[in-house]
Amino acid sequence: MIPYGKHHIDDDDINAVIAVLKSKFLTQGPMVEEFEKAICNLVGAKYAVAVSSGTAALHLSAVAAGVSPGRSIVTSPITFASTANSAFYCGGDVHFVDIDPLTINISPKAIEYTVKNNKDICAIFPVHFGGLPCDMKAIKNISERYNLFVVEDAAHALGANYSNGKKVGSCCYSDMTIFSFHPVKSIAAGEGGLITTNDENLYRKLIRLRSHGINKLNDPLVNQSESTTDESVNLWYYEMQELGFHYRITDIQCALALSQLKKLDKFIARRLQLVNKYDTYFEGLDFISPAQNISRDLSSHHLYVLRIKFNELNITRNDFMKLLRKKEIMTQVHYIPLPIHPYYKSKGFNIADFPEANSYYEEAISIPLFYDLTDSQQEFVVKTILGILK
């Protein structure tokens, strides 16, 4: 069976985890800080906060950005549910805006129109779909004009670059950037996420929110009479200064992620090689085309999505996927637009309001792309796809 995506684990990864299992710390130990520093060094950010998942990273970022009852975010309808869900976790709301059909990323023009006409918006959550960075320069300009936070959902984009040469995660265009370390992402930690920022106040807030709202740095203590004895801080003392969450990541996960991080360049180079071959195979066909056939040198290539004119070919996408599965080729659709989901439909969202997102969804299918995909497997995938459609 050829999956659409999978992780790569080698002996170095296994030994890194074993070393932690033999150490004094399984959680809240030195590997967490070491991993955070390694990400900062990679992307060029001042601060990083590792958490239990990409969803946790989005939730904490929304809290830190001030999303709350009566305040909303702007994001893309083509994303996983957690991007928009993060606003509802905070009691806030969401405004979806349409995508650019060439990039499948959120449209800056649509963002500005929506922001201009909705005063409840406090933050923009652009999604770097498939690992291709959004037009962050334009989005930053909008955020500055309207005094909005920007939180980059870079769950797909660890290792990607902006056109200015800086890494996604540097926060050169945003207040915070989140990553995911789910097994099909750029690197795997089993589960895990991380937030980068260059703002010390946001960093301190995120550290508190990650662990129940409890003071973990050298923040000023509130209860002086309870916290000190003879002007010395009591050894047992800690303070919960705000409502936080249990979103800590373990040393086991961070050890695996650190080992994986050493191979990130190799992973992305192989993905790019496979993507370029796919582009060549599908070049010049009327009924099928790559969804993001631009800026290949910038993307981390989390996904390879095809747009297929199923209606014109007189085949349903479901039947097409079933035929591929019979050949042991697994595919997926990224994503069902959020306005289609019953939860979001119940809130009044309608996919008809986002024609580009709907058009993309009707044609989209993700085909196998991962580090261990062999050349012969890739050729088999392509020949099978073209054989079915022709």
pLDDT of amino acid 17:
98
| pLDDT of 115 strictly over 80 | yes
Give percent of the chain with pLDDT exceeding 70: 100
- Asked whether the whole model's pTM tops 0.95, one would answer yes
Class of residue 316 by CB neighbours under 10 A (exposed 0-12, middle 13-18, buried 19+): exposed
pLDDT of amino acid 218:
85
Mean pLDDT of 162-187: 98
Mean pLDDT of the chain: 97
Q: Residue 239 — pLDDT band, cuts 50, 70, 90?
A: very high
pLDDT of amino acid 264:
98
| pLDDT of 224 strictly over 90 | no
Q: Cis peptide before 335, with omega less than 30 degrees from 0?
A: yes
Question: Measuring CA to CA, which residue among 58, 354, 91 is closest to residue 206?
Answer: 58
Report the Cα 374 to chain-centroid distance in Å: 26
**Each residue's pLDDT tens digit, 345-361:** 999 999 999 999 999 99
Query: For residues 302 and 288, is the Cβ–Cβ distance under 8 A?
Result: no
Question: For the chain, which domains are there?
Answer: 11-261 (3.40.640.10), 264-389 (3.90.1150.10)
| pLDDT of 4 strictly over 80 | yes
Output the six-digit token pair for 29: 């130990």
